[in-house]
Structure 1
Amino acid sequence: MDKTSQQLEVVSTGTAAGVGRTLILLGHGSHLNADSAAAVRRHARAVRAQGRFGEVLEGYWKEEPSLRQLLRLARFRDVTVVPLFVSEGYFTGTVIPRELGFEWRGPVPPGGLSTVLEGRRVHYTRPYGVHPDMAEVIAARATEVCGEWSPERTALVVLGHGTGRDRQSQQAIEQAAAALRGRGRFAEVQALYLDQAPRVDDWAALTRSPDVVIVPFFASEGWHTQDTIPHDLGLTGAVTEFPELPGGPRRVFYSRPVGTHPAVTRVIVRLVEDSLDAPLSPEEPAWRAAGEALLRAARSSGGGLSVGEVQVAPLPGGGFDLRSQEDAGHSDLTPVALADLAAWTGRTADGAHRPIRTQRSLPRGWRAEVCAGELRAALHAVYPAVLEEASAWENGALPVVPWADTADRQSGLYAAVQRAGPAQVARARSTTCTGCLRTPLWAGEPLGTTFLAGDPQGLPCPEACTLLVAAVREELSSHQETPAQGEVTHV
């Protein structure tokens, strides 16, 4: 084995050299709120530390790396995908299977789904929120905010989002509430919702106990848990006194969402262990080839390797220094550990969220020092999937998906983008793509070589991202335009 291959082996933990399993944890993510992905990162880090898998990847619907990129990132040919959602519904039964490449649509069977995609055996599980152990996670959240409570005078409200479009989404909440109701730990247990009846706005009328503990059955912190719920219910903190309600004074205890509790990591592991029925699998050759190409490029350039706005410089001991190109030569930079690099570079200098990491807004003032075997992970933390896509492009193996195909795949609220004409897509691109480092191959723009072959700005974009899809939808709502008869609607 050559030196480069030996260094690549250190990426894996808990697996024999060259064989293992890939675990992918999927979150919803957000275009607006960086905290939405924090729970996914924490659970991924905790599972990674247990050493049960050759690698643990994260992916998102509204951020990078996207669902469509994930299989290309997987090191091993055996892949298990867990949706980090608290309930079943439209996303777990339709969106995620569709984006991964499954033909299945509808409720996922208890044992999950298995198929072969892009040469990999892929197993897709149900969301962790349906696991029976989630009832105890709810109780743990209640204990944190309320401490010791009197069962005879305390009500528990399990608060779900709810939706009028898919009644299946409430099943996990109802099951968890029923399990807690049968244990006699509270005088009453109610399952209430934001967007369907029974609504949480009516908590005072639907409960009788003087003390009420509200536990959000949400996967992460976000707009609802941090803003709309406290505002709409008049909550002023973890404990709120309501002295003048009909029936007497009441106290409301408001906890953090269940999905951010550390015990969820154990639930995820148990869910995955139930599906591990195949032997360890070999590495994907393209994965290894991409890593070797990155190390060669990083070492062959005298001044280091430039990737978009990042400078990768070799260190005397064999490792690498990563930083913003604008900070080249600076010594007063904040050292950032590899485990924190994605969160650190996921915000602009002003603290704004960067859901698409290749936007021209990389913050300055940081540096990350990594060993050779960590370089791939470090680049991925800053620019998810750019290595794998650049390597595939250099080898003529990167599929390019035209806008029309991406639009046809949209459903729900985003199905409207199928009506967008070229002018509308072009206007959306002017506000989204012009600020991105990637070259939109899907729109027909040419790309010669990539950063692996010496062009720092050579970052391919094979398919329109979720940010552009959202921008096209916004464009449709503000500029209604019907394509002329026979007009092509791709760009």
Structure 2
Amino acid sequence: MSTALVLAGHGSHISPETAGIVWGYVDALRRMGVAEEVTAAFWKEQPEFAQVLGTLMAETIVVVPLFTATGFYTNKVIPAAMGLDGPVTQRGNRTIHYTPALGTHPMLDDIVTRRVKDAMQAYDLLPQQTAVAIIGHGTRRSETTRLTTQNQAETVRRAGLAAQVVDAYLDDDPDIPSIYQRTEAQNLVVVPYFLASGSHVTYDVPRALGLPDDEMTAQVQGRHVYYTAPIGTADVILQVILELARATGVSFEINEAPLWYGMPRVGAAALVQAVLLKNAQQRGAVQFGQLRLTPNVVHPVGSSDAYVFITPNQLRSHIRENPFRPLATSDDLPRDWVVPIDDVQQIPAIVETVYPGALAEWANHYAQAATITPLTEVVSRHEGMFHHLTQATESMVNQLVATMCGRCVKVPLWHATTDLTANSGSLPCLSPCNTFLSRSKEALINEG
């Protein structure tokens, strides 16, 4: 029986690190060969929560939510988007396991405690002169989100590492500035209980603390403040992921795998066949989005071939981070690279790295097996988060689509029937993406 592992993260429209750390775990788990398919899914990036299960061929799938707390996203958003019934969902001959959030695992206690100990040792701080603050995200949409951060604060408190230990939240009460009123010690060690050095850790939390830009230590309100790294940068996170996945009863044995192994497999065989057929008939290339695919090489249309990449993480970092491209299918794909092909079976893996989730939709569309999800259904799925769009008239939606979707290589089939053959390289878009929903919501709010 084939297995797949999905790491569900938040992603970001602002910072590459938020999803980048998740992709790092995916790359490591693929090289460990723990499952036939290993991938990520995101709220803010591609592939999205609602899209990812359709990219996998495995009969047994384990979804691990990489969130630091059980709350709105783990209890509401992910299950609704993926159609999950609870810890185990049976869908035909497929079984989908949904684990607790990463942040609820006891091993996270050790990481937080280690962050505090390392800071106190590095700066030679005395416990009786030090206070500790554990910063969680929090949300007013869920009362349970704060519990994990509160538990971490209690663990540090019981360890007797500091004179005072408090919890505070970026998007809930007690807020971050209140730390200065709730503690008195001369030294303040602050641990951001986040998985990655994304925009929250890099900008939002430090600014709420009053730290100067790019500074980890500073004098703030007469106190010595020491800001640590987030908890998700520790190597032990991989072990936590595997422990959560194995607790479902599914075996994830380590067996070192080659590069480009472990990618989602839906559409892979169809794409290889299309490339080989095109090459045999015309000695030409298949265009997929802004990619040219041949049996010997993959590169963007009009590529200058300045950089040669041989690993998924090298390629992903180059096309995603400089500058940051939160929408993988935006039409500004860097054109200065090439990936040489040793085996035609690498082609789908390269495409999946450039356009996560797009291959399955492409294959299903041309096999006439695609399911199109209209805007109204997607909006209703998300618990009122995009309720502004329910008030949009047809002409307003038309304008939003023209504005938001014009710079994407996907054609919004969920909005209007379009012949993709008229658009060389264009890919099917079967459902409104979060980028469209979020930007449209902002536009409607700004219009009043």
TM-score, normalised to structure 1, is: 0.81
- Give the equivalent residue in structure 2 for 1:47: 29
Q: CA deviation at 1:146?
A: 4.1
- Give the equivalent residue in structure 2 for 1:474: 442
- The alignment of Structure 1 onto Structure 2 pairs a total of residues equal to 429
> Over residues 433-472 of structure 1, what are the superposed CA-to-partner deviations in whole Å (9 max), with x where a residue is unaligned?
111111211112223559xxxx742411111111111232
Cα distance change on mapping 1:77 and 1:232 into 2, 3 Å: same
Paired residue for 2:293, among 294, 312, 322? Answer: 312
Q: CA deviation at 1:222?
A: 2.3
1:427 pairs with 2:395: no
Q: Distance in 2 between matches of 1:38 and 1:145?
A: 25
- Give the equivalent residue in structure 1 for 2:217: 239
Q: Distance in 2 between matches of 1:194 and 1:403?
A: 31
**1:323-338 map, 5 Å:** 323-327=299-303, 330-335=304-309, 337-338=311-312
Cα distance change on mapping 1:256 and 1:118 into 2, 3 Å: farther
Retained in 1: the 8 A contact 2:64–2:99? yes
- Give the equivalent residue in structure 1 for 2:243: 270
1:403 pairs with 2:379: no
Paired residue for 2:168, among 192, 209, 213? Answer: 192
Deviates further, 60-69 or 387-396: 387-396
1:137 pairs with 2:111: yes
Which letter does structure 1 place at the counterpart of 2:413?
Answer: L
Q: Secondary structure at the match of 2:24?
A: helix
Q: CA deviation at 1:76?
A: 0.9
Retained in 2: the 8 A contact 1:392–1:398? yes
Retained in 1: the 8 A contact 2:129–2:187? yes
- Give the equivalent residue in structure 2 for 1:124: 98
Paired residue for 1:257, among 223, 227, 230? Answer: 230
Retained in 2: the 8 A contact 1:336–1:366? no
> Over residues 280-327 of structure 1, what are the superposed CA-to-partner deviations in whole Å (9 max), with x where a residue is unaligned?
9xxxxxx76722221122222212222121112222xxxxx2211111
Which letter does structure 1 place at the counterpart of 2:244?
Answer: L
Q: Distance in 1 between matches of 2:44 and 2:435?
A: 7
Retained in 1: the 8 A contact 2:21–2:196? yes
**1:444-463 map, 5 Å:** 444-447=416-419, 456-463=424-431
Q: Distance in 2 between matches of 1:118 and 1:57?
A: 22
Q: CA deviation at 1:178?
A: 1.2
- Give the equivalent residue in structure 2 for 1:89: 71
> Over residues 26-46 of structure 1, what are the superposed CA-to-partner deviations in whole Å (9 max), with x where a residue is unaligned?
111112222221111122223
Q: Distance in 1 between matches of 2:305 and 2:370?
A: 39
> Over residues 94-131 of structure 1, what are the superposed CA-to-partner deviations in whole Å (9 max), with x where a residue is unaligned?
11000001245xxxxxxxx1012364210111110111
Q: CA deviation at 1:228?
A: 2.4
Paired residue for 1:38, among 12, 20, 25? Answer: 20
Q: Distance in 1 between matches of 2:384 and 2:197?
A: 24
Q: CA deviation at 1:413?
A: 3.1
- Give the equivalent residue in structure 1 for 2:190: 214
Which letter does structure 1 place at the counterpart of 2:111?
Answer: V
> Over residues 126-146 of structure 1, what are the superposed CA-to-partner deviations in whole Å (9 max), with x where a residue is unaligned?
110111111111123334444
Cα distance change on mapping 1:256 and 1:278 into 2, 3 Å: closer
Q: CA deviation at 1:382?
A: 0.6
- Give the equivalent residue in structure 2 for 1:342: 316
Q: CA deviation at 1:162?
A: 2.1
Q: Distance in 1 between matches of 2:74 and 2:163?
A: 34
Retained in 2: the 8 A contact 1:440–1:462? yes
Q: Secondary structure at the match of 1:65?
A: coil
Q: Distance in 2 between matches of 1:424 and 1:215?
A: 44
Retained in 1: the 8 A contact 2:267–2:360? yes
1:292 pairs with 2:273: no
Q: Distance in 2 between matches of 1:55 and 1:311?
A: 25
Q: Secondary structure at the match of 1:63?
A: coil
Q: Secondary structure at the match of 2:239?
A: helix
- Give the equivalent residue in structure 1 for 2:345: 373
1:415 pairs with 2:392: no
- Give the equivalent residue in structure 2 for 1:358: 329
1:66 pairs with 2:34: no
- Give the equivalent residue in structure 2 for 1:178: 154
Cα distance change on mapping 1:463 and 1:407 into 2, 3 Å: same
Deviates further, 423-432 or 166-175: 423-432
Which letter does structure 2 place at the counterpart of 1:364?
Answer: R
- Following TM superposition, the consecutive aligned residue runs of length 4 or more in structure 1 with deviations greater than 6 angstroms are none
Q: Secondary structure at the match of 1:96?
A: helix
Retained in 2: the 8 A contact 1:89–1:168? yes
Cα distance change on mapping 1:179 and 1:145 into 2, 3 Å: closer
Identity %: 27
Q: Distance in 1 between matches of 2:446 and 2:99?
A: 39
Q: Distance in 2 between matches of 1:197 and 1:187?
A: 22
Q: Distance in 2 between matches of 1:73 and 1:437?
A: 19
- RMSD, aligned α-carbons: 2.4
> Over residues 340-398 of structure 1, what are the superposed CA-to-partner deviations in whole Å (9 max), with x where a residue is unaligned?
22232224xxx343222221110121112243332221100111222211111122211
Which letter does structure 2 place at the counterpart of 1:346?
Answer: R
Q: Distance in 2 between matches of 1:409 and 1:52?
A: 32
Retained in 2: the 8 A contact 1:441–1:447? no
Paired residue for 1:224, among 191, 194, 200? Answer: 200
Q: Distance in 2 between matches of 1:253 and 1:474?
A: 36
Which letter does structure 2 place at the counterpart of 1:421?
Answer: T
Q: Secondary structure at the match of 1:59?
A: strand
Q: CA deviation at 1:336?
A: 5.2
Cα distance change on mapping 1:333 and 1:342 into 2, 3 Å: closer
Paired residue for 1:394, among 366, 379, 382? Answer: 366
1:303 pairs with 2:322: no
> Over residues 162-219 of structure 1, what are the superposed CA-to-partner deviations in whole Å (9 max), with x where a residue is unaligned?
2233221000011111122212233332112233333321223322332221000112
Q: Distance in 2 between matches of 1:408 and 1:197?
A: 29
Cα distance change on mapping 1:395 and 1:476 into 2, 3 Å: same
Q: Distance in 2 between matches of 1:137 and 1:279?
A: 24
Q: CA deviation at 1:404?
A: 2.1
Q: Secondary structure at the match of 2:388?
A: helix
Retained in 2: the 8 A contact 1:145–1:238? no
Which one scores higher on RCO, CA 8 angstroms, separation ≥ 6?
2
- Give the equivalent residue in structure 1 for 2:261: none
Q: Distance in 2 between matches of 1:288 and 1:195?
A: 38
Q: Secondary structure at the match of 1:57?
A: strand
Q: Distance in 1 between matches of 2:144 and 2:57?
A: 34
- Give the equivalent residue in structure 2 for 1:383: 355
Retained in 2: the 8 A contact 1:346–1:355? yes
Retained in 2: the 8 A contact 1:59–1:67? yes
Retained in 2: the 8 A contact 1:160–1:170? yes
